[in-house]
Each structure stands twice: as C-alpha cells, then as structure tokens.
Amino acid sequence: MRTSRTSRTSLRARLTALLTGGAVVGALLAVATTAHAADTPLRDLAAAKGKVIGTAVTGSKLTGTYGDIAGAQFNSLTPGNAMKWQTVEPTRGTYNWAEADQIVAFAQAHNQQVRGHTLVWHSQNPSWLTNGTWTSAQLSALLQDHISTEVTRYKGKLAAWDVVNEPFNEDGTYRSTLWYNGLGSDYIAQALTWAHAADPSAKLYINDYNVEGVNAKSTALYDLVKSLKARGVPIDGVGLQAHLILGQVPATLQQNIQRFADLGVDVAVTELDIRMQLPSDSAKLTQQAADYKAVFDACVAVSRCHGVTVWGFTDSDSWIPDVFSGYGAATPYDENYVPKPAYYAIAGSLGGTTTPPPTGACTAAYSVQSQWNTGFTGQVRIACSGAALSSWKVSWTYGAGQRITQAWNADCTQSGAAVTCANASYNGTVPNGGSVTFGFNASWSGSNPVPTVTLG
C-alpha cells in the first residue's frame, strides 16, 4: 500500500571477551536464529492447509538475510511499490520495469507466486497523469493502455492482480478520485474487463482497507462485488488489507470473509500488519501474537480464503513508523530478522511449532589463537544446539587501534574501530548440532584490550 523504509540498525547482544597476551580465550555470544531451528517453513505449513502465505517485498533488498527469509518462508510475493503506475511509467511512454522484473525473477527462482499491486489507485500516480487535463475519452484510453501494457508484460507470470485499490470512503460512498470523477463508478468494471482481456488466467481482485469486519465500507464492497458478478464482469476476489492496530482485530472478520466467499469469490488478506505504540514490550508482543493468530485462524476457517500476505515481514521494511507517528513494530520479525512471538503464533495457526527456540541455542566463541609483538590471529566459532542459522554476522569494536589485515571463511570489513564479519557464500548455514569457524589476522600495538561483541 505505501512506501517502505530503509533498513535500521543491527541487533545488539553484548558481552565481554578477554583477550590478553597470546592466550586462547573464548566468549559466548547470544545469536538470533534466522532459520528458526528445525521449524517447518511457514510456506510449507500454509501449503499443507491449502493456503498461500505472502509478503510484500522491496526488490533491492532481496539479497542476504532478507532474501533468504523471503525465499524460504513465503510462497507468494507482492511488490511493495515496483508495479505502481508512478514507478513503471514515471514519464509518459517511458517505462521502468527493472524492480518489478527483479521481483518476478526472484519469485520464479524460489517457486513463488506473485501478486500484482496495483493497477488503478488514486495514489502514487505519475505527475504527468495527475497534473494533466483529460477528457473522459482520453482518460479511459490512458487507463486501458496502462492496464493492458502492464498486465500483458507479466501475462502467465502472475497469479493475481489487485486491479482496483481503495475505491471507497469510510461511509461506503465512492472515493473522489481521478478515475471516479472522470469516468464514473463504472471505471471499476472497465478496469477488470481490460485486465481480464490482457491475462485471462490471472485472478482479479478489488482491494481496500478498513473492510476487514462487517461495516458500511465492507458492505459497499460486498454490494459492488455482488453487482459485478450479476453483470458478468470478471471479478475473482476481494482483498482485505488488514492494516490493524494492536488489540483491534474485528470480531466479525471470519463472518465477513465468509459472506464474500458465499458470493462465489475468493478472499485474501493482502497487507497484514499490526502496529503498536512504541516502545514494544512483552505484553504488547503477546497481544500482537494473539492478533496475528486471530487473523490467520479466520482465514484458515474459510475454504475460499486464499491466504494471507504480510505487508513486509520485518520491521526494517515497514511503512508504519513513517506514517503513524509513535507506532511501529508491526511485522512478524524485528528489525534484525529475529522472529517475534507473532511469527510463532502464525506458525501455530498453520499447524506448526508455536514456541521459539531456547535462548542461547546458538552461540559463538571468539578466541585469540596466537599473538606476537605486532599482531595476532583470531578465530570465531559459531555453534548451534537446539536451533539453527541460515546466516550469521559478528560485529565488534576494537579499543586500542587494532586492525584486521586478512580474513578467511568470512567477509570482514572494518571502518575505524568497528569490525563486521558475515558468512561467506558457502558457510551461512549452521545446522542444529553443527558449527562453523572463521579466522583473521590483525595488528596491534601496546595492548589488545577487550572488545564489545555484537552478534545477530
């Protein structure tokens, strides 16, 4: 629905390692598991229930841990911004498909569906369109051309499209937009018809927010879908965005999903996040877990509920803090890719493991292997027992001017006194009961004091 934020700071789990003389001294470090121990991936749990579990993604971030989780845990991707009109046609007749193509290619490589988002919306349109003066005929031609061009480009590659996004006001009246004002309410039927002509195999949805429970807005959407069905307009489903507030999952959510299903259309929860007033604490995280479970339970209970997409799986890629001042922590993973109680609540709703791995199940030991008057050789051993890792990163800050000069079995960088070492391409996985090590040479002069180590 909205733009995403840039990634934030890394997890900080601190401890002291004693590094003196040439002694070999180890320090155990708490590790955040990104592979979730031996847990069955969410996508496999969802598939076993006949459901889809998706996430909105930012194409440029589909590498490293972000890419690993997006590929391993979800069987559907929604481009957060890459398929919106402003992105794909910023100048009339000049197209930019780079990020959208990247996301589709990633999904194909990871055996995932793609949900197109979105073709017709009042927001994030290019200035040439919104600032133009158009007759109804011109506006209709522009919209048809846009829909036909984009849907045809991805014909056969996308499972579904959010064709029309947010057409209603809160009271159930039509929102005053470029499209409604210029074309009337039938722009919705026209858009669906044009999208179907461009790709008859794609499922076509109308998507909106604050329509999760039974209310005036969702009833207006219900009446519209019923009317479109009666007219023979191609409409396959409704999307309930579900940008929810902590403790406010509508009591009528399952009832509402069911009444749409009874019209003969699919229902998808398309943009789920559950925001809380910051800072988060254990009580809020517990309530958030219960809320996520309630949403997934409602979908699992209705056969025509296609699945649930979270609007970004990590807080580092969430739009909430930039739009709702003082609110955040809305996704199932924290900013450092550590699964929250909400992650395990989702897994539990889908029939999987409901408890997190034990604290300290993965640890790391930092040791000095040898030391001489100008330098030393160090090693870090990362081991897991009762959990596993799909990637790892170790950071520390030197206190006496030490400089890493060479590293092996890790990608290490140093900026000033700060050192960060991440797994190489071949040794990111640390299985339950297994370990990996990496080493480095470094210089020192005069002393080799204790660094503060961060692992996450």
Active site amino acids: 271
How many C-alpha atoms does 305 have within 13 Å on its Cβ side? 25
Strands 410-415 and 418-423: antiparallel
Q: Do the Cβ atoms of 83 and 157 come closer than 8 Å?
A: no
Give the residue carrying structure tokens 């069987």. 75
How many C-alpha atoms does 151 have within 13 Å on its Cβ side? 28
Q: From start to end of 398-434, where are the E strands?
A: 403-408, 410-415, 418-423
Q: Do the Cβ atoms of 201 and 116 come closer than 8 Å?
A: no
CA distance 380 to 364: 7
Positive/negative CA dihedral, 249, 115, 390, 29: negative
Strand partners for 77: 55, 114
Q: What is the DSSP letter of 430?
A: B
CA distance 456 to 450: 19
Q: Which two tokens stand for residue 202?
A: 């794609």
CA distance 293 to 289: 6
Q: Exposed, middle or buried by CB within 10 Å (0-12, 13-18, 19+), for 437? A: middle
Strand partners for 275: 245
Give the residue carrying structure tokens 């988060």. 280
Strands 410-415 and 327-328: unpaired
* DSSP codes joined into one string, 224-288: HHHHHHHHT----EEEE--EEETT---TTHHHHHHHHHTTT-EEEEEEEEEEEESSP-HHHHHHH
Q: How many CB atoms lie within 10 A of CB 392?
A: 27
Cis peptide before 9 (omega within 30 of 0): no
Q: 241: closest CA among 168, 343, 153?
A: 168
Main-chain dihedrals φ then ψ at residue 333, nearest 5 degrees: -120, 145
Q: Do the Cβ atoms of 313 and 342 come closer than 8 Å?
A: no
Strand partners for 415: 418
